Amino acid sequence: MNEVIGELTPPARIMLTPGPSCLDPRVYRAMAAPLVGHVDPWFTEMMSDVQTLLRRAFRTQNRITYPISASGSGGIEAAVMNTLEEGDECIVCVNGAFSDRMAIMAERIPAKVIRVDAPYGRTVDPEDVRKAGKGRKIKMVGLTHGETSSGVVQRIDDYRKVADELGALLIVDAVATLGGIPLDVDRQRIDICFSGTQKAISAPPGMAPITVNQKIEEVMQARKSPVRSWYFDFKPVMNYWGHERTYHHTPPITLIYGLREALRLVAEEGLEARWERHTHNQQAMIAGLEALGLELFVANPEDRLVTVTAVKVPAKVEDGKVRRQLLDEFNIEISGGLGPMKGRMWRIGLMGYSSQKNNVLLFLAAMEKVLLDQGMQVPAGAGVAAAIRAYQQFSQPAEVGARK
- pLDDT tens, 256-311? 999 999 999 999 999 999 999 999 999 999 999 999 999 999 999 999 999 999 99
CA torsion sign for 35, 38, 39, 41 is: positive
Reference 171, options 147, 197, 140, 201; nearest CA is 140
Write down the pLDDT at residue 261: 98
29-71 pLDDT, tens digit each: 999 999 999 999 999 999 999 999 999 999 999 999 999 999 9
pTM of the model: 0.95
β-pairing, 138-144 vs 89-94, is parallel
Residue 403 has pLDDT above 80, yes or no: no
Q: Is the pLDDT of residue 400 over 90?
A: no
Mean pLDDT of the region 1-12 = 91
Q: Are 66 and 88 in contact (CB under 8 A)?
A: no
Burial per residue of 181-217, b for 16 or more beta-carbon CB atoms within 10 angstroms, e otherwise: bebebeebbbbbbbbbbbbbbbbbbbbbbbbbbeebb
The predicted structure's pLDDT at residue 2: 84
165-214 confidence digits (pLDDT tens): 999 999 999 999 999 999 999 999 999 999 999 999 999 999 999 999 99
